[in-house]
């Protein structure tokens, strides 16, 4: 909160938190300042709604998948039905993020595991799209790996920040 207040005092007109997981503090940050916070889940939700899909698979850190600050916002504010992997899938997705991607390691077997998990979720959970809800996931998978819409939250959030700055 101190950093947000410092940025506001220095003349910032808006804030971004450049990570999905740390948006768990977004409401507290927003409450601490009078300038807008461009929320990554809001920007992502707008893209999902615009694409005409409703039931995205949410791949992210365990915190983002299991706590309500992100998926609850998608559901409550935008009427979306985000679906997270089952326990084994969440464990795998989280492990790959922290043990590999955050270390700069990109493994073909991990890419295959992510693709297989999305395939399982399409079959069993009827997801119609994928939210890459962690900034590191783009190192591993992308739109070219799927025939359903894939939402790169890093790009979407950056574009929303640019749009805000230019408005």
Residues 148-163 pLDDT 10s:
999 999 999 999 999 9
For the segment(s) 2-166, the CATH number from 3.40.50.1860, 3.30.565.10, 3.40.50.1820, 3.90.120.10 is 3.40.50.1860
d(CA 8, CA 32): 10
For the question of residue 153 being annotated catalytic, the response is no
% residues pLDDT > 90 (the chain): 91
The model's pLDDT over 102-118, given as tens digits with 9 standing for 90+, comes to: 999 999 999 999 999 99
pLDDT score of 1 more than 90 = no
For the question of residue 61 being annotated catalytic, the response is no
The answer to whether 69 and 23 are in contact (CB under 8 A) is: yes
Q: Which position among 19, 102, 138, 154 bears the catalytic label?
A: 19
Give me the torsion for CA of 31, 34, 36, 40, rounded to 10°.
-20
Q: Which position among 21, 44, 61, 134 bears the catalytic label?
A: 134
């Amino acid at each position: 909160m101190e950093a947000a207040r410092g940025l506001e005092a220095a003349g910032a007109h808006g804030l971004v938190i450049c990570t999905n997981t740390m948006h768990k503090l977004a409401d507290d940050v927003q409450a601490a300042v009078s300038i807008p916070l461009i929320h990554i889940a809001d920007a992502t939700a707008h893209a999902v709604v615009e694409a005409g899909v409703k039931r995205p698979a949410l791949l992210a850190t365990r915190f983002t998948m299991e706590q309500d600050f992100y998926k609850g916002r998608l559901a409550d504010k935008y009427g979306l039905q985000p679906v997270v992997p089952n326990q084994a899938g969440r464990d795998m997705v989280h492990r790959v993020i922290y043990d590999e991607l955050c270390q700069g390691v990109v493994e073909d077997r991990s890419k295959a595991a992510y693709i297989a998990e999305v395939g399982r979720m399409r079959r069993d959970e009827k997801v119609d799209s994928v939210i890459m809800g962690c900034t590191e996931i783009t190192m591993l998978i992308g739109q070219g790996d799927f025939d359903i819409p894939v939402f790169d939250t890093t790009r979407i959030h950056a574009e929303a920040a640019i749009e805000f700055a230019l408005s």
